[in-house]
Structures are given as C-alpha cells and as structure tokens.
Structure 1
C-alpha cells in the first residue's frame, strides 16, 4: 500500500477533526514523507491547517545545520515552520534517550491548543521494534500495545497516520519523488537498544519469517484492543474505590478486590493523576505494605516520581517530598501574602465577615510563622479548653505528613492560628464583626516528566 495524500486524508478522517495539525518534523526520511503528504493535503483542502515543528535538542554537532535544512524544506513545501530549542540533558539516573524524549514531548505539548493534533511519522516497522523492546523489558499489556494510532496528548491528541505503512514503502515513495532528508548517524549506533533490534534482530527474524514486521504490528494491535477493554474495567473499579473529594483510594474497598484488580486500579489511579508509572516492584510494595498495614500506622512507598502514603483507611498519591526546614522561623508582614520556603505553599490573610483574628491585634502584633516542635497547644475558637495540636490533628483526620508542614502563625511570640484550620481563642475577634481569616494554599503539583499516554518511540 503506497503512501498518498488521499490515504493520509482517509486515515485522519477516522478521528475527530482538529483545528490545527502540528507535524513533528525531525527532517529524517519518515517525517519527510509525512511533511510532503501534509503539504499535498493542505494544497487540496483549505481547511487543513498544519505547521511543521522541529525540536532542536542540541545533542548532535550538525543539529544547527539540520534545523536550517528543515526550515528550508518547509518553505519549499509551503508549510509553516516552528523551531523549538530544548534542554535535553539527562537527570541523574535518566538515559539520554529518555531525557531527549521527555524534553521533546513537553515542548510539543506546550505548543498545542485545545483539540490540536500532533502528527508523528512512526510506521509499521517502528511498531514492531517497539513491541520487541517492550517484551524484552517485561512490559504488561499497556507496553505490548506499543504505539496506538491515536492517544491523548497535552490539550489535544497525538496521531500516527503512517502506522499501516512499512519503512520500505516510505523510502520508495521518497526516492520516487526525489525528496531529500537528514541522515542522523546515531541511528546506526548499536549501543542503542532500538538500533540493535532494527539492524540485527529484525533482519535475522525476517530471514525466517519475511512478514515479521506486519505480524508483530498485528500482535500489538491485538494487545491494544485488549488493553482498551481492561482500561474501561480499570476506570470502573477505580471509580468505585475513589474518594473524589481528595482523589484518594479507600483501603477497605481495595481489599475487596482480587490482587490482579488491585494492581489494575493502582495503575489507573496513578496514571489518571499524571504520574509516571512506577515499577512492578513498587506496586508490589504498595499492595504488601500499605494495604496490609495496621490502621494506626502511616507507611509510605516512594519512587523517583512520587510516593504513595496510607493514612487510616485511605491511600494518598503525592509528589516526591522535597527538603523541608522544620526549624524555620519566617517573619510575615501580615497584609501581604507570604510564600513559604521549601515549596510549602502560600499564606494569605483575608478580611472576613465572621470568625477570625481580631483586626486590632493583627495590625499591631509582630507576626511570624513556625512549624511544630511538639507540645504546642491551642484553644480553638468555640471550644472549651486548650488542646494539644497532636490531638486536634488526630480529631480532624489530618495526615501526619501534612501536620509536619502545617504553618503555625505566631503573634508576639504566641500561637494564634494553626494553618487554615483553627484560630486560638485569645486572638479571636467579635464573631459578628469583621475579622482576619488565614488561608493556606498549596503550590501547584510539579509537572510530570511526560504527558499522560506519552509516545513510546
């Protein structure tokens, strides 16, 4: 089946129309074919709006030359061009391939608008390579489904309209039209797993099974269909175990599920909140340690991108806890919002008609913010007698990791407010008048390494 603009249009017609199509254009053979097909389609249809995007990783000595060549090619094809420069240096423990992929997809997702589509040029041979890679990594169904034709991506979605074509078909098309493209020398480096599979493993398999790429691609499609069914089941099971107010999972409901369904729910829960999936070992620790812990304990299971904690009957999914100075004493100019150090959010003092700190005391006191050291007491507004903060937190069901980071507002060296929860009686104003309320806002959750359902190329 030869590539053509008509075939591209038919493939795109299987999906909802997009206000704008972004072409992931590396300058290599595959994306060069996709660029030509899109250019032909744009000339035939005025409603097909497309822009080619080249991501400059800065990892190759010829990267600047490639970027200019991509720009020139797009101008010749009459396709709008965008150049994105990214920092693709790997973090500790991250492979160069993973770092480049993460930087590339974060930049592309940030470029897109609601409903936009990112077109990538992966083909049938790429699909076969991906399936083998995932098999060798011991992947489950989501990995063996390899690269779907359509996936959620950023504010829109990602489409792979060339998956039904093989590499030889794309090369034949490009050579027949005398297209020029960039040859990346790293594609011949057998130190990369994908290249080793492409140049050594698949040719050996093809000698015995000539249709191996098509066969493996078909297997990936079968896995994708099975995964779609499991994903629907996972959403239903997760919904039944979810506390929607806090996005937590009820432990007792999870314990009613089979071990396989628990793993299914954990993966759905973690993925739905934008976290990268932990290893099977980490999921096993959650099932063994967190679910089976005594209700009075608060175990935590951590991996590089996040952590799962249990408190009472719920599991909480959190970003990795960063460094935190519990001995800090922070001066606060009360009328102005206070951004707390260590990513601990922001304190705001708001005038309110109702319970709060007396405005006269607030204006004249020296205000500071500290954290629990142990033994602090407060008589909450409307309560009889002072209580230790530990007891108040326990009564309110506030998890231990939130307690230790809860800002305590001191006025003239005495405890006046506990985060957003309690005003101490001696600083309270007339409840029928105008007072000062304290609000504590957490900072936004840090962005994850990749959008949900990232590409696997």
Structure 2
C-alpha cells in the first residue's frame, strides 16, 4: 500500500469534516504531509485544505520560515495562515513553546474542524521513552493519541504508523524542500538528547527499537482504555446522586461510592474525572487525595492541583477553578434593579418580579448577619446556611441584598431569596467552572 493510500485510510473517519488544517512548520514531516494531502485532493473528494504556520520568534533563523511556507503553499494551491505567538519564559522552553503553539492552533479551529499534525512513528517511540524516564504511568506511556479533541475541533495525527525514513524517502523522490531547525541539534534539550544520542545507540543494538517502542505504546493505550472503562463504571454511582444545588455550575461527585473502592481504583477513577479539568498530579502529589479523605469534615479540606482545587463539603467533592479561586468581589450599589447586575468575577444577579423600593446594595457575608423570616423572627444567617447545607466555599460568594442596613434576601435559597408573598425573587447566576482545558 502506498503512503498516499495509508494516509487516506487513516483519515477516512474525518472525510466529512468542514475543513482540514495542516500544522505546517516548514520541516520535513509537515512538508511531506502537506504534499501528500495536496496530491490526494486532486483525485479524491476531501474537505478544503488550509495550512497554519506558528511563528514562535525564538531564534533569528525562524524569521525566514513563514516565507518558505508561503512558497510551498502557493505552489500547491493551499491557503496559508501565519500566526505569531509569545512564548512565556520558564523552566522548560520546549513545553512553553508547545503550549503556546497548541493554544494558537486551537483558536483557529471552528466547530468540527480537523487539525492534522505530522508526528510519526519515531516521534511516538521517543515520546514513550521520554515519559518512561520521567516515571509516567499508563496514561503517559500510552504515548500520543491518534486523535483527540482540541478547542472546538479535533487534533488528528495520521502518520503515527509511518517511520521518519519513509517520509525522508518520499521527500527526496518528490524533490521537496524543507527547513532544518538548528535547535534540533541542541542536546541540552531532553528530547533532542534522546533523538540524537540515545536512539541511535539503541537502534545499533536493536534495529527495530522504534517499531517495538511504538508497538508498546499501542498496547499501553489499550490498557488505558480498559482503565478508563473501569473508571466510568466506578464513577457512575458517584454521578447518580445529583448535586443538591442545580444552580451551582461546578463539577461534583458524591463521595460515599468512591470510599467503597480500593485505593488504586479510587486513584484511577479520579484520574479519569480530573483529566479534562487539570494537568494530573505525579505519584507523590496523590498524598493530597489521601489527606482530603482523612481530614475531618469541619476542617474544610482542600486538594490544590495545577488547574484548580478539589474541595470536600457535605459528602461531596467539588471542583473549583477560574473565578471561583479569586477573592470575593466588593459590595456594590444596584442602581437599576430592573436590569441584571454584573458581579466582577462572580457571575450576575437578577431580580425577578416586582422591584423592591429603596436604595439597594449587594454585599457578601462578613459574619453576624441576621435575616427576618415570617413566623420565625430574626434568624442568624450562619445557622440558616447550615440548615440548607450550603457548601462552605459558596457562602462567601453568595450575594446578599440589602436596603440600608436591612438584609432583604439571600440569592437562590428558597424562602430566603425574597418576601413571603413571592412578589420578587433574588436570582444569582454564578460564574461557570472555567478550567480552560480541552
């Protein structure tokens, strides 16, 4: 089977996509992928092709790469977009550049669009070895997936079963030109050291090392799929018990079903649940999960992770990120209660029904608040919130409506959210859980 036919077979599930974008660096791999797709498009009914070049600006020689990509795309009749990104400085320049690149690529994807990248079998082998040396688990050792969600579309790697040698042969036969990134020779970077120093030594002793490592990644991906199936079964019971506050837009789980699992199954279930929300912690950091379970209920236990926090409250686990981790906003006047009030970092507030008279102000708990209730007299707000089982992390963000020094209503809590005659209600639309992952 020719390289074109193999590529076409791999991309069969994506033939109905609205567009195929090719991530074009200008290097050998992406130039071959672009050339193959442009050739296939002359005889096959493919989605429209488009190329995207990300310019990191990390080295002077890269300033000429966009023009090189323009010339290639012009010759093939493929439109090109060039996007400039700012790479944040940090401990790992490789990681920072990769994150900036994928963020820019994700921003270009419309609904259902496909981004095609040119990672190949040798890259997969390097990835497995690199992660093995870093002590990765099954999920990491499964290597790069052939496809995954990215932004509103999909990232697809159609060349993972193709060796770099095959790509080089194709490029030479077709007379393709490409750029060489001089940073690829810098062995101070871990991936370059593996590619330039370690893999040649391994290949000299085991000629099939790339094939074998890539095959191991496939086996480990199957193992991860089985672990994911088990996690979904274990999480099903924790998801059956609905959250007590439907207006609270936060991922949450009932804790009791998880406590009946072995520690290994707990970790597996939580890895699966946390994966879309945050970068997963390493093995040592899972001690925070044990501390979260063992802490007394009144301690307000928190497990802090890279993308947010896991809180335990009233028998549930709650995931907080984005605005939920920012300070409570200050009090503010509500000059036009007939219109929604934007709460900085805290969603928005509405009055449904007849607007109460007087000058209104929105405040938040400071302690000692008292609310007058029909037939119950003046009641301490803290006790009322305890009776309703409002999670501790919500109480400080729950909007309180005041007229002068009089507390009129507590948003979203029935019988506390307005007068007894139900002539109006205070409705809070909290901020969504903005974890920002895909």
Name 1:37's counterpart in structure 2.
36
Following the alignment from structure 2 to structure 1, what is the Cα–Cα distance between the partners of residues 67 and 211?
35
Name 1:49's counterpart in structure 2.
48
Following the alignment from structure 1 to structure 2, what is the Cα–Cα distance between the partners of residues 27 and 16?
25
Post-superposition offset of 1:439:
1.6
**1:324 is matched with which residue: 320, 324, 327?**
327
Give the root-mean-square deviation of aligned CA atoms: 2.3
Determine helix, strand or coil for the equivalent of 2:398: coil
**1:428 maps onto 2:430 in alignment:** no
Following the alignment from structure 2 to structure 1, what is the Cα–Cα distance between the partners of residues 111 and 377?
54
Determine helix, strand or coil for the equivalent of 2:67: helix
**2:403 is matched with which residue: 397, 411, 414?**
411
Post-superposition offset of 1:7:
2.2
Post-superposition offset of 1:94:
6.0
Which stretch of the first structure deviates more once superposed, 239-248 or 129-138? 239-248
**1:61 maps onto 2:63 in alignment:** no
**1:443 maps onto 2:431 in alignment:** yes
Name 1:347's counterpart in structure 2.
349
Give structure 2 stretches of 5+ with no counterpart.
244-249
**1:375 is matched with which residue: 368, 373, 378?**
368
Task: Tell me if the contact between 1:415 and 1:424 (Cα under 8 Å) persists in the aligned partners.
Answer: no
Pairing of 1:271-420 with structure 2 (within 5 A): 271-272=275-276, 274-286=277-289, 288-319=290-321, 321-324=324-327, 328-333=330-335, 334-341=337-344, 343-351=345-353, 359=355, 362-363=356-357, 365-380=358-373, 384-420=376-412
Post-superposition offset of 1:383:
5.5
Following the alignment from structure 1 to structure 2, what is the Cα–Cα distance between the partners of residues 383 and 110?
56
Determine helix, strand or coil for the equivalent of 1:372: coil
Pairing of 1:120-139 with structure 2 (within 5 A): 120-139=117-136
Name 1:256's counterpart in structure 2.
260
Pairing of 1:159-198 with structure 2 (within 5 A): 159-198=156-195
Task: Tell me if the contact between 1:296 and 1:312 (Cα under 8 Å) persists in the aligned partners.
Answer: no
Following the alignment from structure 1 to structure 2, what is the Cα–Cα distance between the partners of residues 325 and 49?
48
Post-superposition offset of 1:404:
1.3
Post-superposition offset of 1:12:
1.4
Cα deviation code 1:151-207 (max 9, x no counterpart): 233333222111112112211211221211121111111121111100111111111
TM-score, normalized by length of structure 1? 0.87
Post-superposition offset of 1:422:
5.7
**Structure 1 residues 15 and 48: CA distance shift in structure 2, 3 A:** closer
Post-superposition offset of 1:13:
2.2
**Structure 1 residues 376 and 139: CA distance shift in structure 2, 3 A:** same
**Structure 1 residues 377 and 232: CA distance shift in structure 2, 3 A:** same
Post-superposition offset of 1:414:
1.5
Task: Tell me if the contact between 1:41 and 1:48 (Cα under 8 Å) persists in the aligned partners.
Answer: no
Post-superposition offset of 1:26:
0.9
Post-superposition offset of 1:413:
2.5
**2:222 is matched with which residue: 217, 225, 240?**
225
Give structure 1 stretches of 5+ with no counterpart.
352-357, 452-457
TM-score, normalized by length of structure 2? 0.91
Determine helix, strand or coil for the equivalent of 1:386: strand
**2:234 is matched with which residue: 224, 232, 237?**
237
Following the alignment from structure 1 to structure 2, what is the Cα–Cα distance between the partners of residues 416 and 308?
32
Following the alignment from structure 1 to structure 2, what is the Cα–Cα distance between the partners of residues 96 and 350?
52
Post-superposition offset of 1:391:
1.0
Following the alignment from structure 2 to structure 1, what is the Cα–Cα distance between the partners of residues 303 and 131?
25
Task: Tell me if the contact between 1:329 and 1:368 (Cα under 8 Å) persists in the aligned partners.
Answer: yes
Following the alignment from structure 1 to structure 2, what is the Cα–Cα distance between the partners of residues 147 and 383?
64
Determine helix, strand or coil for the equivalent of 1:62: helix
Task: Tell me if the contact between 2:328 and 2:397 (Cα under 8 Å) persists in the aligned partners.
Answer: no
**1:209 maps onto 2:206 in alignment:** yes
Task: Tell me if the contact between 1:348 and 1:439 (Cα under 8 Å) persists in the aligned partners.
Answer: yes
Following the alignment from structure 2 to structure 1, what is the Cα–Cα distance between the partners of residues 6 and 50?
20
Post-superposition offset of 1:403:
0.4
Name 2:273's counterpart in structure 1.
269
Post-superposition offset of 1:429:
7.1
